[in-house]
Structure 1
Amino acid sequence: MLLFSLSLRASSWFSRRPCPPSLHSELRVPVSSLAGYIVSSDSVIPCATNCLVSSIAYSLPPSPDVSTNSFMPHPALSNPLPTISLVIPAYNRADLVAETIESALDQTWPFSEIIVVDDGSTDNTPTVLAQYANRITVIRTTNCGVQAARNTGIAATKTDLITLCDSDDLLEPTLSETLAAWLGAHPDIDCCFCNFTTFDQHGTYSDKFSQAPAGYFDRAIEQDDDFLTGIPDLYRRMLEFQPLFQSGLTFRKAFFNAIGGYDLRFKGIGAEDWEFTLRAAACGNIALCSRSLARVRRHPGNDSANAMHMNIGEAEILEFGLQNHPNAANYQMAILRTINERRIRVFDAAFGLGNFDLAKKTLTQITEAPSNIKFLLKCVITRLPSGLRKALWKLSQQSH
Structure 2
Amino acid sequence: MPPLISVIIPVYNGERYIGQAVRSVLAQTWLPHEIIVIDDGSTDKTRETLEPFWGQIQYLFQPNQGPSAARNAGIKVAQGDLICFLDADDLWTPEKLEVQLMFMQANPETAMVFADHEEFNREGLVLASYLREKRKAFLAFPVEPGTVDGAFGKLVIENFISTPTVMLRKCCLERAGVFDEKIRSVEDRDLWMRISASFPIACIPRILCKRRMHGENISRKRELTLQGRIRILENNWNRFPLLLSDQVWRAQLVESYCHLGFLLLQQGRKRDALRVGVKSLYSNLKGRRGWGALAEPSSIVKSVGLVGAALLGWNVSRVLWRPLKNAFR
TM category, shorter: 0.7 to 0.9
Cα 1:176–1:365, aligned 2, differ >3 Å: closer, same or farther?
A: same
> Matched residue of 2:197: which SS?
helix
Aligned counterpart for 2:187 among listed residues 272, 283, 292 = 272
CA offsets, 1:345-392, max 9 Å, x none? 111111111222321211212233657xx978743433xxxxxx9xx6
> Matched residue of 2:61: which SS?
strand
CA distance in 2 between counterparts of 1:370 and 1:336 reads 13
Aligned counterpart for 1:217 among listed residues 112, 120, 142 = 142
Aligned counterpart for 1:250 among listed residues 167, 172, 175 = 167
Structure 1 runs (4+) greater than 6 angstroms displaced: 374-377
Aligned counterpart for 2:130 among listed residues 188, 208, 211 = 208
CA distance in 1 between counterparts of 2:280 and 2:268 reads 19
> Matched residue of 1:238: which SS?
helix
Counterpart contact for 2:271–2:310, Cα < 8 Å: no
Cα 1:326–1:173, aligned 2, differ >3 Å: closer, same or farther?
A: farther
Which TM-score applies when normalising by structure 2? 0.82
Aligned counterpart for 1:306 among listed residues 201, 217, 221 = 221
What displacement does 1:88 show? 0.6
CA offsets, 1:242-292, max 9 Å, x none? 2112112101111123322222232x2x31222111111111111111111
Aligned counterpart for 1:103 among listed residues 16, 24, 38 = 24
CA distance in 2 between counterparts of 1:307 and 1:215 reads 22
Structure 2, unaligned stretches of length 5 or more? 282-298, 320-329
Counterpart contact for 1:282–1:327, Cα < 8 Å: no
> Matched residue of 1:118: which SS?
strand
Structure 2 partner of 1:197: 118
Which TM-score applies when normalising by structure 1? 0.68
Q: Are 1:240 and 2:157 counterparts?
A: yes
What displacement does 1:206 show? 2.7
Counterpart contact for 1:89–1:167, Cα < 8 Å: yes
Q: Are 1:262 and 2:179 counterparts?
A: yes
> Matched residue of 2:80: which SS?
coil
What letter is aligned with 2:229? E
Q: Within 5 Å, which residues of 2 pair with 1:108-257?
A: 108-204=29-125, 205-211=127-133, 212-213=135-136, 215-217=140-142, 227-229=145-147, 231-257=148-174
Counterpart contact for 1:308–1:345, Cα < 8 Å: no
Aligned counterpart for 1:338 among listed residues 242, 252, 255 = 252
CA distance in 2 between counterparts of 1:341 and 1:327 reads 20
What displacement does 1:326 show? 7.2
Aligned residues: 297
Counterpart contact for 1:170–1:295, Cα < 8 Å: yes
Cα 1:102–1:161, aligned 2, differ >3 Å: closer, same or farther?
A: same
Structure 1, unaligned stretches of length 5 or more? 1-69, 72-81, 383-388
> Matched residue of 1:109: which SS?
coil
Aligned counterpart for 2:272 among listed residues 358, 364, 368 = 358
CA offsets, 1:113-157, max 9 Å, x none? 111011121221111111212111111122222112112112222
Counterpart contact for 2:277–2:306, Cα < 8 Å: no
What letter is aligned with 2:108? P
Structure 2 partner of 1:63: none
Percent identical pairs in the alignment equals 25
CA distance in 1 between counterparts of 2:130 and 2:149 reads 19
Cα 1:95–1:327, aligned 2, differ >3 Å: closer, same or farther?
A: farther
What displacement does 1:304 show? 2.0
Cα 1:141–1:377, aligned 2, differ >3 Å: closer, same or farther?
A: closer
What letter is aligned with 2:177? G
What letter is aligned with 1:119? D
CA distance in 2 between counterparts of 1:326 and 1:179 reads 32
